[in-house]
Structure 1
């Protein structure tokens, strides 16, 4: 009887081992994936970065073995035994690197206005461009601490054309685009609150807007919700993109919040929380678009 039990136990252990080997083999096969190159401008780069040194071009219809990925880049071995990094979009438009956390994401942050474009003015004549840059820099710092790759459309008081802002998101194949602005009403002190704008519904922008707005719940001014916004930086952007009007700059009450360090910290921290929801794929939206 004891011998039979030992044999059953041994068989059970062997079965577990075989299942483990099978699963490991499957994971290894899927991880070291061989894929055909379906684009004309594929190339190997020294680092996973568009500004990195280009090592060599890769011909269309050749095959590469994907060894690992970082952000939206993959490290590959070619069929000619060369190794290097290439943008996942260089393989084909259908090939996607899974982005399941903020630490794997590529994010573009847009500080509205700048340089010759002052943006809206406060009652005291303070310029919108000053505060959009302050918020953008603070968000960039927090996202980098989370491990995200961050690009900024501007990092100083410089003039950047509207068209170049979404173009940057396209060039780096950003997983999210966040634009900071501050609203202004025709008459001083006649409006208050913040609004989260999106343009495209079907590229993730609406979901991104809902995820971020759902976290903006304790700022001390009215949450005006998620709304459609026909802004060029959103309209010309195929990446998930939102524009945040984080208060009315010509409202004395809102402006006192906009310039407050606690409010700035709360806004940028809440945006990080919303981005985490977006990338982790959690369905925790509490705000619905006014135009859905």
Structure 2
């Protein structure tokens, strides 16, 4: 879990993912020679802070967003949400501005729910603050802020080790309305004719989805993927004997939204481990679900 711990500690709220982008580029450069196939690495200004890895002759792409939720400092001591973070007075927030490192406390107004920070000085406006990372591991679970979606990134890196044909996309802005997947998807379609995708992201523990019972295949959330593609994934999962669960929800979204709403005939399906304490500093995931997520992705990327 050391790699996952490192990922969770990196400052990368939506719109300022550059530190995680650089970490990933360094990690890929140091490890790609040991992978079964050495990928082509696509990054730079044409991709903003996103990365595409192309292995062999790709048929399917994994999309894993690298950004997190957080807060932006407004005026005075006001905070504005980045995405949909859980908010509770006393949460520890960290960041850095022109005056140095920041470790402050979130304050939620009992009157109107407005957000402020408590700190010894005023923080530069526009500074992003994120949850302080307290990574905890037991025999059965890992717990930390930003398992959504550093665990999806971790899964993609693990799958990269044995991937022969496929693409891995590290996208930005997903937590705050998206925006990068459209041009990344267009690039993959125009250059490689790839038009099917797995969304490597983290879903919720609910009354129908339970920790420790396997990776989740989402049949729908606020969007509805094409049923024939989802059925193919379910069939492959059944044949693989990897533990999995089926999810049916009416809310939530992912990078799949931009794929479905594009002018390219993308098929997509959300496949990810379930977590509890969503969007809080205490997100928790069962290790068995992490293992089944990696195992099922290895099967799907080989067979799709």
Q: TM-score range by the shorter chain?
A: 0.3 to 0.5
Higher relative contact order (CA 8 A, sep 6+): 2
Structure number, greater radius of gyration: 1
Whose helix fraction is larger, Structure 1's or Structure 2's? 1
**TM-score in terms of structure 1 length:** 0.42
Whose strand fraction is larger, Structure 1's or Structure 2's? 2
